[in-house]
Homo-oligomer: A and B are copies of this chain.
Amino acid sequence: MPFDAASKTALEGITTATLTTILLKKGLRNVWIRGGMPIRAGQARRVGPAYTLRFVPAREDLATPASWASPISTRAAIEGMDEGVIAVVDGLGVTDAGIFGDILCARMAYRKVEALVTDGVVRDLKGVLGTGLPVWCNGAAAPPSVAGLTFVGWQEPISCGGVAVFPNDIIVADDDGAVVIPAALLDEVVAESVEQEAMEAWIMEEIGRGTPLPGLYPMNPETKARYAATKASKP
């Protein structure tokens, strides 16, 4: 896995709001996974490379409890997950059939999967919460996946919440949902985001002092100079 510990640590300190600002400045406007929100309030930020799973709609001859034992099954896909990956599941935005319940989430937690992100929903909400697996999803529903979905593969390019996700893209998920950083852009995004985050923290201090917005955010040359001086004065 080419995802290094330093990038991970840096990204754990950056909001997805900042990341989307940086990505937009690079021309990427569509990187936020619609429908994938934290399953519980205050869930800590999670960062990791994408491990993708893909469903197509249910067809009664394919989507059966028997299919769960097929070699192409969610079970097989889960057994291939390494520690630290973020499972990203194309659930087709289906909200009336849960992609996974307590058993599969427990196994993912056991394998130290960093998080589960999907535009679909989970089932057996209480059980899933009990496993401790961090989940970003679109809610909960009682019916099993086969009531609406057929599993077809993993580690392929997928659609998730209206966003393209490729295996090994970097996923960052927090209170504002989950964002995709294309693997090729990782280093420059990390570098610029760290600087942006520091700058916005200083602006928030200024707001607390009553500084009006015009000239402050975005900064005009005078404010930029003042900010530069502040940075320079720090040890």
The residues of A with any CB-CB pair to B shorter than 8 Å are 15-17, 19-21, 24-25, 27-32, 34, 37, 55-63, 65-66, 68-69, 75-76, 78-79, 92, 95-96, 98, 101-104, 106-107, 110, 123-127, 139-144, 146-148, 150, 152-153, 156-159, 162-165, 174-177, 179-180, 182, 184-185, 200, 203-204, 207-208, 210, 212-214, 217-218, 220
Contacts and interface: CB of A to CB of B under 8 A. Distances in A.
A57 B110 contact: no
Contacts of A102: 200, 204
Contacts of A143: 17, 20, 24, 29, 31-32
A153 to B, nearest CB: 8
A15 B204 CA distance: 35
Give the top 8 A-B pairs by smallest Cβ distance, nearest first. Answer: A16-B142, A75-B213, A142-B176, A17-B124, A20-B143, A56-B164, A56-B159, A152-B157
A26 B148 CA distance: 16
A52 B159 CA distance: 16
Contacts of A208: 106, 110
Contacts of A176: 98, 123-125, 140-142
Given A69-B218, A106-B208, 19 more contacts: A17-B124, A17-B142, A20-B142, A21-B144, A25-B65, A28-B60, A56-B164, A57-B163, A57-B164, A61-B185, A62-B182, A66-B218, A103-B203, A107-B213, A123-B176, A125-B175, A125-B176, A140-B177, A152-B156
B162 A57 contact: yes
B213 A20 contact: no
A105 B48 CA distance: 31
A58 B157 CA distance: 12
A107 B210 CA distance: 8
Contact of A30 (B19, B58, B126, B182): B58
A123 B68 CA distance: 35
B140 A78 contact: no
A144 B17 contact: yes
Nearest to A169: B59
Contacts of A162: 57, 96
A182 B140 contact: no
